[in-house]
Amino acid sequence: MNPDPTPRHALLATACVAVLAFLALWEGTCRSGLVDPVFLPPPSAVWARGLAMASDGALPGHVLASARRVMTGFLAATVVAIPLGIFLGMSRYARAAFDPILSLLRPLPSMSWIPLSLLWFGITETQKYSIVFMGCFAPALVYVIEATRNVDPVLIRAAQNLGASRWQVMREVVLPGSLPQILSGLKIILGLAWTCVISAELVAAREGLGFLIMNGKEFFQTEVVVLGMVMISLTVLLTDVVFRAIGRKLLRWQP
């Protein structure tokens, strides 16, 4: 029995009406003179600037540049964090040795790595990738360790009693058992990756949504600033939808 009998199309219609009402209120407030459009441009101005930048190819170029940096840094952090996190989650001694280092790295915000990364890599793509990697790696590692530790120990002992090797236990029991929690954590980390790349592009970049926002601010083009913010939100929503689809594909055994 469905606990919530509200039709989905009714919920969708409610959401659309709320968004349209918000945009109408925003437009009306700007046009009435209550807010100076120089400081808060109306949605129509943002839309017009977006269409102009889309037609000349500038906007897609900025979006793709940021998306490429996010996915490169995020995937690199994931590739390292998942096997390392599973290993640390299964080994108390390794976890005891690594915990102090992880405790030192985890509180560091991505912005704090920018000066060092500029010294190491200069204003290059590698520098942007490294900022995303450092911002994602420690939180992803924590999620994987916790997910591994939450796997039912009865299942692990049963597999060991049946003669499974350590590698087989890890591959056949621990990884499937921890995968739902790992994917939930990585979805949050992916949103964090966008925060990291925008931080990096605000400081040292020649393209990307962070650069677009900073460039609009420098030339007092507030519609460009708002356009960059809107594109960040839309891109994060799109990646979230893609991530959910991948999760459903990988977790087909779950109801």
| 183 within domain boundaries | yes
Which pTM value belongs to this model? 0.81
Name, of 69-73, 184-188, 241-245, the range with top average pLDDT: 69-73
Decide if 137 is inside a domain: yes
Q: Show the domain range for 198.
A: 44-251
Does residue 247 lie within any of the structural domains?
yes
How many folded domains does the chain comprise? 1
Average pLDDT (213-236) is 90
Instruction: Kindly tell me if the per-residue pLDDT of 33 is higher than 90.
Output: no
Residue 64 located in a structural domain: yes
Q: Give the mean model confidence (pLDDT) for residues 180-184.
A: 87
> Is 33 inside any structural domain?
no
Taking the CA atoms of the chain, what radius of gyration do you get in angstroms?
A: 23
Closest CA to 182 of 160, 149, 223: 149
SS3 91: coil
Residue 199's CATH number: 1.10.3720.10
Check: CB of residue 93 under 8 Å from CB of residue 87.
no
pLDDT of residue 2: 53
What tokens were used for 136? 């994602």
Q: What is the pLDDT of residues 142-177, one digit of tens each?
A: 999 999 988 888 888 888 888 888 888 888 888 888
d(CA 184, CA 38) in angstroms, rounded, equals 40
Indicate whether 105 pLDDT > 70.
Answer: yes
Q: 170 in a domain, yes or no?
A: yes
* 8: in domain: no
Is residue 6 in some structural domain?
Answer: no
